[in-house]
Amino acid sequence: MKTYILQRFIQMIIVMVVVMLVSFIIVELPPGDFLTTLREQLTEQNVDPKVIDSTVEMYRARYGLGENWFFRFGKWAWSLMKGDMGYSMQHNRPASELMGERLSLTIWISIATLVFMFVIAVPIGMLSAIKQYSAWDHSFTFLALLGVSVPSFITALVFLLLSVTLLGATTVAGLFSPEYVTAEWSWAKFVDMLKHVWIILFIVGLGDTASTIRVMRARMLDTLGEPYIDTARMKGLSGAKIYFRHALRVAINPIISSIGLRFPQIISGSTIVAIVLTLPLIGPLLLDALLGEDVYLACSILVVLTLALVIGNFLADLALAWLDPRIRFES
Amino acid sequence: MNSPPDTDKVLDIRNLQVSFSSIAGATRAVNGVSLNVRSGEIVGLVGESGCGKSVTIRSIVGLVPSPPALFEDGEIWLRTRRGMTETLSLYKNMKALRQIRGRDVSMIFQEPMRSVHPMMTIGQQITEGILEHEVVDPAEAYDRTVEMLDLVGLPNPPAQMNRYAHELSGGMRQRALIALALVCHPQLLLADEPTTALDVTIQAQILELIKDLRERMSMSVLLITHNMGVVANLADRISVMYLGRIMETGTVEEIFKEPAHPYTQGLLASMPSLFSQPKTHLQSLRGVVPELAMAPKGCVFADRCPHVMPICDETPPVVELRADHSAACWLYDDVEASPGPDAATAQPSLGGDSTLGDASQRVEVIPLTKTEPTAHADQEKLADSDTDQLQIENVALHYPILRGLLRRQVGTVRAVDGVDLSIRRGETLGLVGESGCGKTSVGRLVTRLVEPSAGRIRFGADGRLEEITHIPQKEMKGVRRSMGMVFQDPLSSLNARMNIRNIVGEPLMLHGMAKGSAVDERVGELLEMVGLRAAHQSRFPHAFSGGQRQRIAIARALATEPSFLVADEPVSALDVSVQAQILNLLLTLQQQLNLSMLFIAHDIAVVRHVSDRIAVMYLGKIVELGNAREICVRPVHPYTEALLASIPLPMPGLATLQEMPKGDLPDPANPPKGCRFHTRCPYSQPICEQEEPPLLPFADAVDHFGACHFQDELHLQGVEEIGEIHGPAAAGGEE
Ligand SMILES: Nc1ncnc2c1ncn2[C@@H]1O[C@H](COP(=O)(O)OP(=O)(O)O)[C@@H](O)[C@H]1O
Ligand code: SF4
Ligand code: SF4
Ligand SMILES: [Mg+2]
């Protein structure tokens, strides 16, 4: 077990380092020195030359520009770890300022979507399998098929359309009511967000929830056909004990191990929805940065998202090991 | 009728009828089965697969999924702690049914590997059963579980409590499952093919355990099997089932000594036994079990019965032959009380070349020539072609064990560890041993499907022996033309997406031996040679039964007219009657084509039946080598003795008395020091743990080798041949 955790941990570190290296290479790739570009930009904006000099000097020191690449990478990585995300050319502001709230919101929404997905999909899938071919099963099989096949931006558009035409809403989009958008965080703002967030969870999570229902149903059916379930039945156990104690833990395994993979899916899925509904998430910012060749911003976002993904994966691995003795004993 | 049976019966099934509905309509899988089990009795329910045995036994405890199952008629009375209970009527009352399961009646299943929950410890799984039925505190449940694990013979029970399924071997899992089943002291144990998935030695251990527990826990057992041998030494009474009906019921002695029903007779004759005349044709049942929907009207056995009469269009009556012996067959309709002479004449004669025998093979097997091969003829043949076709010297095959991220090598499995063998032209060498001891690896080495780690392989396509140990694959392709290969699982060895013409013809095209319509022609010939229709060329493997697929695999192996055939467990996955048909086919073809053969199997009775010589393999080494019959009558290595002892003899009362090999096959990556068998050998001495015995000639016998330190002193028990008897059933007639 210990070696297993250690193994996974080392794997996680390796992935992180590789992603950072690649990002770093991309950052360094564009022709022309970053400092030259910065200086030009600032001059164009008629900034006081003294300020320009000091700003440029500050960045030179911070990123060790002019030193060898290894040193520069170290500096860059270190500043990333301290939360300094670099400088956005496009927006002319430090990247961390731009990402700020968006990042935490994105992570929270992703986690909430995951939870939403689990809470909805697992019981539905399980019940569909237990009551195979019942009306319940048929209706959810149909709904899940629908959910899988309709892209989330369509759902978002339909939602927009419906709320405008049916409810006559003027500001449907966004995470907050207009009066709170720029307001400071407060209890009222939080409550306001909760009012809006569920619909976003629904739209972003629909596809994943639907596919999870299908996976859960299929896995549960397979598991219920296993001979060890017959063994459990022959002990005289009740249905509930058989389903929850014996079948569920086997059936849910692949769903847990897919958490790590769901994460980037949710983020990319939410990007489209965020664009349609103008949500302050990280996705649109990343897209923007990529389109505008804003390398520092783009790479910082990538690194942070990778970190979230890798940690998610690691947690999923731990959960799996806790559930499944075969994994625990593997090493 | 609706009254409980007398209290002597633990189980009384009356006229059970179960159908399955599907889009194609309803088929009746169980059609009027009546069966009972008395106190303390072991009853065997025997029949080929698909005959409805599992559905019958699962109906007792409501484990048949409904829908699609429909319980159309019948009663199932079970003795419970609340008195006689009718369980079919309990289906609607799950709670009552659950109270019976595990407490009054328990069940063990065919696949121990998959019947233990993979994520719960053995201890959790067993105590769960106790806590479900009884009000005891967990500590007591724990103690009782440990006690039970001890009773079923698991070593170090407290340690087993915390182990998981994947840490136990198949045999250990089945023991754990038996403990689980019996921990609440049920009166009846239902066992659905409990040993079919296990190795012969482990099967023998488990059967012994069931027998022993029956006494100690004073319970009754209803045991399903397709292997007549399994019930011969275990059951008190036997019911033979075919296509949803009971064909014959009787005491084990009567069933084996005077089988009345032609189906029972056929099942018995199909089994190669340690008494049968080697290299002769088994009196196999013809054909295969038809689809339920295709079952004949009247007597369902009519299309395979050698005695079929016009009246058999009508459902035969169940005739009481004796007090405890009945058969459902028109042959006995007018006999009533005594089957006497009629029964005797009704039996197909099991030996020689009777016309009946030929008739019974009319459909599936090519008609046999009058001159069946005999041991005598073999010897002559061997004498005049005493040249070797294959020689392997000190051959080894080592597989690295890789672990971890970097696939580091952490050990070596010595699958084959220094083996010398030779096969003469026209000879069959049988290779026998438990699974995992390296038999398949030898087959793969010989055909160069794997690269040998050491040693030398020489093969003579048709002339001199030539070294093929390390020749490049391109050259090997030419050599392979003279080698055919047949594997265990006929389905996975045939490409499902190719039709039969391409499957069988592929080697021809590969070797440029035929093109276009010439392939069709040759494939047609080959198919007829193995007893299939030439016209079936365009079909796909899925359209064929297991036995037919094995015939296709044989046709393919013989396409290039090889002189040498490797057959790796070719009959292990098949039902007895089909197994007999395939063995007959191999024997016929071998004689017709003068093939040399390496025949690999785990069942020494099967190996003995087709081989001239036998090599016994244990953990990568040959431990005994000699003439097939000689080895079985006078084994010199304790492992051979153990293998012989594990073969359930199809003859009640003739249980072999030797000690069973203890425990499981050790880990081949870490074989015991000294004699590799010493951990399981009943005769082991201190020297055995130190020195590895070499393979040496045994005493004065030519051509008989053993690898035991004490082979000249030990007098091991083989299976005496009983005169010149030709079949297991006939052996009973000597009284
Ligand atoms: N759940 C099921 N649905 C449909 N048919 C079934 C089902 N279970 C068994 N059968 C059919 O019932 C027949 C008897 O099967 P089974 O009892 O498993 O035979 P056996 O145990 O003798 O091998 C077979 O034809 C099989 O296809
Ligand atoms: S009733 Fe007829 S067909 Fe059936 S087993 Fe007897 S003789 Fe054969
Ligand atoms: S050498 Fe010893 S341990 Fe090995 S088989 Fe002979 S008696 Fe048994
Ligand atoms: Mg069965």
Give the list of residues 6+ apart from residue B316 with CB closer than 8 angstroms, or none: B298, B299, B328, B329, B330, B333
**Shared-domain flag, residues B255 and B113:** no
Distance CA A316, CA B514 (A): 57
Min mean pLDDT across A8-12, A64-68, B639-643 is at A64-68
pLDDT value for B358: 35
Whether residues B71 and B199 share a domain: the answer is yes
Of B365-374, B576-585, B691-700, the poorest mean pLDDT is in B365-374
CA-CA-CA-CA dihedral for B321, B327, B331, B334, to nearest 10: 40
Residue nearest to atom 5 of ligand 1 (CA): B20
Name the residue range of residue B111's domain.
9-235
Is the per-residue pLDDT at B385 higher than 70? no
Give the pLDDT band (50/70/90) at residue A124: very high
Span from the CA of B292 to the centroid of ligand 1 (angstroms): 9
Nearest atom of ligand 2 to the alpha carbon of B307: 7
Which pLDDT score, from 0 to 100, does residue A148 have? 85
Q: Is the CB of B256 under 6 A from ligand 2?
A: no
Chosen domain end from B369, B388, B416: B369
B197–A contact, CB cutoff 8 A: no
- Residue B198, helix vs strand vs coil: coil
B63 — contact with chain A (CB < 8 Å)?
yes
- B254-B256-B258-B262 Cα dihedral, nearest 10 degrees: 120
Same domain flag for B219 and B248: no
Test site for ligand 3: of B621, B688, B713, most ligand atoms within 8 A of the Cβ? B688
- The atom of ligand 2 lying closest to the CA of B306 is 8
Write down the pLDDT at residue B342: 42
Are residues A219 and B107 in contact, defined by beta-carbon separation less than 8 angstroms? Answer: no
pLDDT at B352: 35
Which of B319, B351, B369 terminates a domain? The answer is B369
CA dihedral for B329, B331, B336, B338, sign (positive or negative)? negative
Same domain, B320 and B354: yes
- CA B304 – CA B264 distance, rounded (Å): 12
Q: Residues with Cβ < 8 Å from B573, sequence gap 6 or more?
A: B488, B489, B490, B546
Residue pair B523/B509 in contact (Cβ under 8 Å)? The answer is no
Check A230 against B164: CB less than 8 A apart: no
Question: Cβ separation of B94 and A239 shorter than 8 Å?
Answer: yes
Q: Which residues of B touch A223 (CB under 8 A)?
A: none
pLDDT of residue A275: 83
Residue A104 has pLDDT above 60, yes or no: yes
Instruction: Give the pLDDT confidence score for residue B372 in this predicted structure.
Output: 41
Structural tokens at position B382: 């061997």
Answer yes or no: is the C-beta of B299 below 6 A from any ligand 2 atom. Answer: yes
d(CA B57, CA B64): 9
Please say whether the beta carbons of A216 and A146 come within 8 A.
Answer: no
The predicted-structure confidence for B473-531, as pLDDT tens digits, reads as follows: 888 888 888 898 888 776 677 888 888 999 999 989 888 888 888 889 999 989 988 88
**Sign of the alpha-carbon torsion through A97, A98, A102, A104:** negative
Q: Is B709 in the pocket of ligand 3 (CB under 6 A)?
A: yes
State which ligand 2 atom lies nearest to the alpha carbon of B316: 1
- Are the Cβ atoms of A325 and B119 closer than 8 angstroms? yes
Tell me the mean pLDDT in the region A26-37. Answer: 68
Interface check for A228 against chain B (CB to CB < 8 A): the answer is: yes
Read off the DSSP letter of residue B574: S
Q: Is the CB of B307 under 6 A from ligand 2?
A: yes
Residue B448 has pLDDT above 80, yes or no: yes
Contact A227 B120 (CB under 8 A): no
Smallest CA–CA distance from A326 into chain B, residue = B166
Under an 8 A CB cutoff, do B111 and A231 touch?
A: no
Residue B544: what residue type? F
Asked if the Cβ–Cβ distance from A329 to B129 is below 8 Å, we say: no
Pair (B319, B181) in one structural domain: no
Q: Encode A216-245 in three state secondary structure.
A: HHHHHHHHHCCHHHHHHHHCCCCHHHHHHH
For residue B29, the ligand closest to its alpha carbon is: 1
Confidence of residue B652 (pLDDT cuts 50, 70, 90): low
pLDDT digits 0-9 by tens, B542-560? 888 788 888 899 999 999 8
- B252 vs A60, residue with greater confidence: B252
Residue B261 in any domain: the answer is yes
Domain boundary, last residue among B320, B336, B369: B369
Does residue B350 register a pLDDT over 80? no
CB A233 to CB B63 under 8 A? yes
Residue-level pLDDT at B362: 29
My answer on whether B135 and B28 are in the same domain is yes
C-alpha closest to that of B107 among B188, B10, B171: B188
Q: How far apart are CA B597 and CA B430, in angstroms?
A: 8
* Percent of chain B at pLDDT exceeding 70: 88
Give me chain B's average pLDDT, please.
83
The predicted pLDDT at position A293 comes to 74
| The pLDDT value given to residue B171 | 87
Task: Confirm or reject: Cβ of B481 under 6 Å from ligand 2.
Answer: no
Quick one: how far is CA B322 from the chain centroid? 31
Instruction: Show residues of chain B in contact with A240, CB under 8 Å.
Output: none
SS3 (DSSP) at B405: coil
Length of chain A: 331
DSSP helix/strand/coil, B471: coil
Interface check for A7 against chain B (CB to CB < 8 A): the answer is: yes
Pocket lining: B688 vs ligand 3, CB cutoff 6 Å = yes
Cα of A324 to nearest chain B Cα, Å: 6
Q: Evaluate the omega torsion of the peptide bond into residue B472 and state whether it is cis, within 30 degrees of 0.
A: no
The pLDDT, as a whole number, for residue A171 is 57
Quote the tokens at residue B381.
């043949």
Query: What does the alpha-carbon distance between residue A15 and residue A9 come to, in Å, rounded to a whole number?
Result: 10
Subunit contact B180:A232, Cβ cutoff 8 A = no
pLDDT digits (tens, 9 = 90+) for B134-163: 899 999 999 999 999 999 988 889 999 999
- Tokens 């992180």, located at residue: A16
Q: Tell me, what's the pLDDT at B657? A: 47
Q: Is the same domain home to B307 and B212?
A: no
In angstroms, the Cα distances linking B243 to B225, B291, B300, B306 are 15, 9, 7, 17
Q: In angstroms, rounded to a whole number, what is the distance separating the alpha carbons of residues A314 and A195?
A: 32
Q: Which residue has the tokens 């000699």?
A: B626
Say if residue B167 is in the same domain as residue B315. Answer: no
In a 3-state reduction of DSSP, which class is residue B654?
coil
User: Cα–Cα distance between B512 and B505 in angstroms, integer?
Assistant: 11
Nearest by Cα to B343 from B265, B260, B422, B419? B260
Note whether B199 and B260 are same-domain residues: no
Asked if A37 and A45 count as a contact pair (C-beta separation under 8 A), the reply is no
Q: What stretch of H or E contains A154?
A: helix A152-165
Q: Which CATH number covers residue B92?
A: 3.40.50.300
Mutation probe of ligand 3 site: the residue of B683, B687, B705 with most atoms within 8 A of C-beta: B683
User: Which of A10, A18, A315 lies closest to B405 in space, CA to CA?
Assistant: A10
Q: Tell whether B97 is covered by a domain.
A: yes
- CATH code of A101-288, in short, is 1.10.3720.10
Taking residues B330-352, report their average pLDDT: 51
Chain B residue closest to A251 (CA)? B119
Residue B231 maps to a domain: yes
**DSSP tally for chain A: helices H, then strands E:** 17, 2
Least-confidence region, from A41-50, B19-28, B197-206, B355-364:
B355-364
Confidence band for B357, pLDDT divided at 50, 70 and 90: very low
Across A62-66, B87-91, B499-503, B698-702, the highest mean pLDDT is recorded for B499-503
B237 touches chain A (CB under 8 A): no
Rounded CA-CA distance B2/A92 in Å is: 92
- CA distances (Å), origin B74, targets B2, B8, B30, B37, B68: 10, 20, 10, 16, 18
Pocket residue to mutate for ligand 3, from B618, B619, B681, B705, most atoms within 8 A of Cβ: B681
Nearest-CA residue for ligand 1 atom 16 is B52
Phi/psi at B608 (5° precision)? -60, -35
Q: Residue B118: which of A230, A326, A331 has the nearest Cβ? A: A326
* Subunit contact B167:A326, Cβ cutoff 8 A: no
Q: What mean pLDDT do residues B353-365 have?
A: 33
pLDDT averaged over chain A? 82
Q: What is the model's pLDDT at position A147?
A: 86
Band (pLDDT 50/70/90 cuts) for residue A302 is confident
Question: What distances in angstroms separate CA B182 from CA A21, A250, B43, B64, one per listed residue?
Answer: 61, 26, 18, 22
Cβ within 8 Å, pair B101-A235: yes
Question: Which of B107, B132, B405 is closest, CB to CB, to A237?
Answer: B132
Pair of tokens at residue B362: 């009319």
Q: Does A319 touch chain B (CB under 8 A)?
A: no
Q: Is the pLDDT of residue B257 over 90?
A: no
Is B214 in contact with B206 (CB distance < 8 Å)?
A: no
- Residue B331 Cα to ligand 2 midpoint, Å, equals 7
Question: For chains A and B, what is the number of CB pairs under 8 angstroms?
Answer: 79
| Interatomic CA distance for residues A259 and B413, integer angstroms | 37
Q: How close is the Cα of B193 to the center of ligand 2, in Å?
A: 27
Whether the pLDDT of residue A248 is over 90: the answer is yes
Looking at residue A54, its pLDDT comes to 83
CA angle B679, B683, B687 (to 5 degrees): 70
Domain residue spans of chain A: 101-288
Closest CA to B657 of B586, B717, B703, B580: B717
Pick from B125, B133, B166: which is nearest to A236 by CB?
B133
- Answer for the pair B672, B618: CB distance below 8 angstroms, yes or no: no
Mutate to test the interface with A, among B80, B87, B95, B128 (most CBs of A within 10 A): B128
Higher local confidence (pLDDT), B365 or A239:
A239
| pLDDT of A330 | 59
Is the same domain home to B201 and B124? yes
> 3-class SS at B123?
helix
Which residues sit opposite B77 in a β-bridge?
A: B12, B86
Write out chain B residues lying below 8 Å of A324, CB-based.
118-119
Whether residue B120 and residue A231 make contact (CB cut-off 8 A), yes or no, is no
In angstroms, what is the span from residue B363 Cα to ligand 2's centroid? 18
Band (A169; pLDDT cuts 50, 70, 90): low
Pick from A11, A226, A235: CB nearest B132: A235
Into how many domains does chain B fold?
Answer: 2
- Which range is least confidently modeled, B41-50, B200-209, B330-339, B437-446? B330-339
Residues B50 and B127 in one domain: yes
Q: What are phi and psi of B353, to 5 degrees?
A: -120, 45
| Cα A315 to the center of its chain, rounded Å | 14
Q: Which two tokens stand for residue B134?
A: 């009884």
Under DSSP, the state recorded for B437 is S
Of A234, A238, A329, the CB nearest to B102: A234
- Strand pairing class (B388-403; B408-424): antiparallel
Question: Do B200 and B256 lie in a common domain?
Answer: no
Kindly compute the dihedral angle of the four CA atoms of residues B198, B201, B202, B207, in this order, to the nearest 10 degrees.
100
CA distance B622 to B392: 12
Q: What is the DSSP string of A259-324?
A: HHHHHHHHHHHHHHHHHHHT---HHHHHHHHHHTT-HHHHHHHHHHHHHHHHHHHHHHHHHHHHH-
DSSP per-residue string spanning B499-529: -HHHHHHHHHHHTTS--THHHHHHHHHHHHH
Return the closest-CA partner of residue B658 out of B678, B634, B647, B642. B642
CA distance B149 to chain A (A): 17
Residues of B within 8 A of A239 (CB-CB) are 94
Comparing A114-118, B212-216, B280-284, which segment has the lowest mean pLDDT? B280-284
Q: Output the CA–CA distances (angstroms, integers) from residue B634 to B311, B545, B630, B721, B730, in the order listed.
A: 50, 39, 6, 11, 23
Q: Could you tell me the two tokens for B348?
A: 């197909």
CA B703 to chain centroid: 29
Q: Ligand 3 centroid vs B672 CA: distance in angstroms?
A: 12
H/E stretch holding B114: helix B112-115
Residue with tokens 């047609």: B524
pLDDT score at A7: 83
